[in-house]
Amino acid sequence: MIRKLTKPALGGVALLAGSAVAWAQEVAPPVVEAVAEAAPVMPESGDIAWMMTSALLVLMMIIPGLALFYGGMVRSKNVLSILMQCTMIAAVVMLVWAFWGYSMAFGDAENQFFGGFGKAFLSGVTASTTSATFTDHRIPEFVFLAFQMTFAAITAALIVGGFAERIKFLPLMVFIVLWVTAVYFPIAHMVWDSDGLMYGWGTYDFAGGTVVHINAGITGFVGCLFLGKRLGFGKDNMAPHNVPYVLIGAALLWVGWFGFNAGSNLEANTFVGLPFINTFLATAAAAVAWAVIEGIAKGKASVVGAASGIVTGLVAITPAAGYVGPMGGIILGVVAAVACYFFVSTVKKAFGYDDSLDVFGIHAIGGIIGALGTGILASPSFGGYPLGDADAFSAGAQLWIQFKSVLMTIAWSGIGSLVLYAIVNVVFGLRASPEQEREGLDYGSHGEVAYHS
């Protein structure tokens, strides 16, 4: 999702049109110039409708999708706290995005790390301003910023999976405001804005492997280590309290993810079918692979495992959705399922960290697999669609770029979030009291309970 420059591999129609214009200019330049002045590029209604729909699909991913997925995974005494955290994080981040986030991520400052504050409080953004798509079409800037706003909101909401059931509400909200400002907005700018550092490297991240999943997964992991384990971890029963919620949430995430991935094409053109079909196939492959692995390892395949496989496939295909072919998407889904299952079932137990809802094991690891796999599977020899000249594509060179981008995201997110956790903890205290944690955060933080006996 790059706002300022075009995407050559997706612009076949635009390239043909450009050749025609060049020919016309050589033959009759005055006519062409007059036409250019009289007929500026205008947004097409189909693109506008598609991008508005995609933004709403991503919103559905947060509420109710992620809220139900996470809410079903926690114990019954904490379900409302998760629903409230997802809801209020989304609302707070949307406001921050309008105040200064959009400007920091996609402002006009020619800076590798942030876009400046020239568009703070949406200064200069009107109903008539537009943003470029990949083929030099235009969409209303309000629509583009709304679409990107939902990405910021869901990324911040994903983080709570790392330390669910033990964090205080108000300090969490403060942390989120600081985090999106210091961590998310700069990474979004570095990867998706044409002035950004990682964009300049040539990073492939179609819909958010680095910006969303590695970023949120690492931040959640740092949070789980910083806050420590839940009371009774390893002793008490901490199984999901409502498995149907988990599957319903995963299903809503899958549906909403079509806005996430296919919407990142920014146009309703013929190419949008590629991220669309990849979102089907990679997810299906991961769900099947997870069920097979779990069936072999445990003798039975679980519904929670199937839901985890769905999310794993969605995470892995996110950075690759517009670059790999359908067979490459299936490969990514299977590889990610194997890797994420290993981290969730084995690595987590071996090291004993309390990643409550496996945000590290699924989002960080799945995002890393997807980001690195994109560098290989985008190759035309694997049926991929690399940027620019396909004949000049080098899987080795692109894999190195992807590797650098993964390391940069891990470092920026990990160090930045650790500093912010420490600051908020000193000022407010992050960890809920032992009494509140035993009673449950539903009543302790919000004065209500989800279920009445």
pLDDT in tens, the chain (453 residues): 554 433 333 333 333 233 333 333 343 344 434 444 445 578 999 999 999 999 999 999 999 999 999 999 999 999 999 999 999 999 999 999 999 999 999 999 999 999 999 999 999 999 999 999 888 789 999 999 999 999 999 999 999 999 999 999 999 999 999 999 999 999 999 999 999 999 999 999 999 999 999 999 999 999 999 999 999 999 999 999 999 999 999 999 999 999 999 999 999 999 999 999 999 999 999 999 999 999 999 999 999 999 999 999 999 999 999 999 999 999 999 999 999 999 999 999 999 999 999 999 999 999 999 999 999 999 999 999 999 899 999 999 999 999 999 999 999 999 999 999 999 999 999 999 999 999 999 999 999 999 997
pLDDT of residue 1: 56
Select from 58, 330, 359 the least CA-distant residue to 218.
359
Could you give the count of Cα atoms lying within 13 Å of 127 in the half-sphere of its Cβ? 0
Q: At CA 314, angle to CA 279 and CA 352, rounded to 5?
A: 165
Helices (H), 299-378: 303-317, 326-342, 348-351, 365-377
The residues near 25 (Cβ < 8 Å, ≥ 6 apart) are: 32
Q: Which residue has the tokens 């942030």?
A: 114
Could you give the count of Cα atoms lying within 13 Å of 156 in the half-sphere of its Cβ? 35
CATH class of 8-446: mainly alpha
The residues near 52 (Cβ < 8 Å, ≥ 6 apart) are: 143, 146
> Which secondary structure element, helix H or strand E, spans residue 130, and what is its range?
strand 130-132
pLDDT of residue 19: 34
Identify the sign of the CA torsion 206, 211, 212, 217. positive
pLDDT of residue 41: 73
Reduced DSSP (H G I as helix, E B as strand, rest coil) percent helix, strand, coil of the chain, to 5: 70, 0, 25
CB atoms within 10 A of CB 206: 26
CB atoms within 10 A of CB 269: 21
Beta strands in 370-450 (DSSP E): none
pLDDT of residue 32: 39
Kind of pairing between the strands at 130-132 and 138-140: antiparallel
**For the chain, what are the domain ranges?**
8-446
